[in-house]
Structure 1
Amino acid sequence: MKSGMEHVFLAELKDGVSGFHNWVFFAKQEEAGLLNCAGWMKFLDMGTPGALIQHKFVWCSACKPISSMFIGTSPEFELAVYSACLLVRPGSTTCPMLFDTNPVKVTTYTIGSSSQYVASSYADPVLP
């Protein structure tokens, strides 16, 4: 089992693809021929920070039928978003945020006796 942030920024293979919410790792895996993007369902332009997509893909012969990730943002930005939601909304999986007036729902799952550690975290575009 990986740490929560390894789960988010890299990936795990367990009953399919789990985690895998970072565009830099995604691009490197696609460039290496280990990943095939099978299309996107939602796209949200967030202005200066970048974009957010909801998509599906195949990695190491395993399909992830729905996933999401920020595109064009820094790992520091993503870590800050996920950490802020963990700290501001402990015990809640839903953390609403606005990026360039666009609503985004950040989901954070925790582990540990006092729910202080990230198990997973990802953002989804909220489209009308």
Structure 2
Amino acid sequence: MKKLLSILIVFTFAVIIVSGCSKSDDTTITNTGGNQLPTSPSSPIPSNGAVGVTGFVTATWSCSDPDVNDTLRYDVYIGSTTNPSTVVTTGTLNKAADLGIAGPNTLVYWKVVAKDNHGGVTNGPVWSYRTAP
């Protein structure tokens, strides 16, 4: 009986130790007051879905950072698909970028990625406009 009790105690501790070390897929990451991400770029010009855009296009947008002393830089991409990947500019401090001139009746997609000086990155939405025929 003593031997059986000893085996049960050892087995119980082994189960407790193994179950306490099991891997869990439930991971929660909490920001405890560190760097906050830039806001999502918004208020694009040309406006999203604009039609009849003519001439040389200089795009503008709004963006800020909840951390008022952060410096924001922007990467701007353009393309003919909903995932624009051609780099227009990287690391600009301006909330404006020259997108150039597209051919007639061309659907142009563009997006802005905002980055702060502490590694915070926010990908903006993809916007589009169509040039005049």
Regarding TM over 0.5, the answer is: no
Task: Give the TM-score taking structure 2 as reference length.
Answer: 0.25
Q: Which has the higher helix share?
A: 1
Structure with more relative contact order (C-alpha pairs < 8 Å, separation 6 or more):
2
Task: Give the TM-score taking structure 1 as reference length.
Answer: 0.26
Q: Which has the higher strand share?
A: 1
Rg larger in 1 or in 2? 2
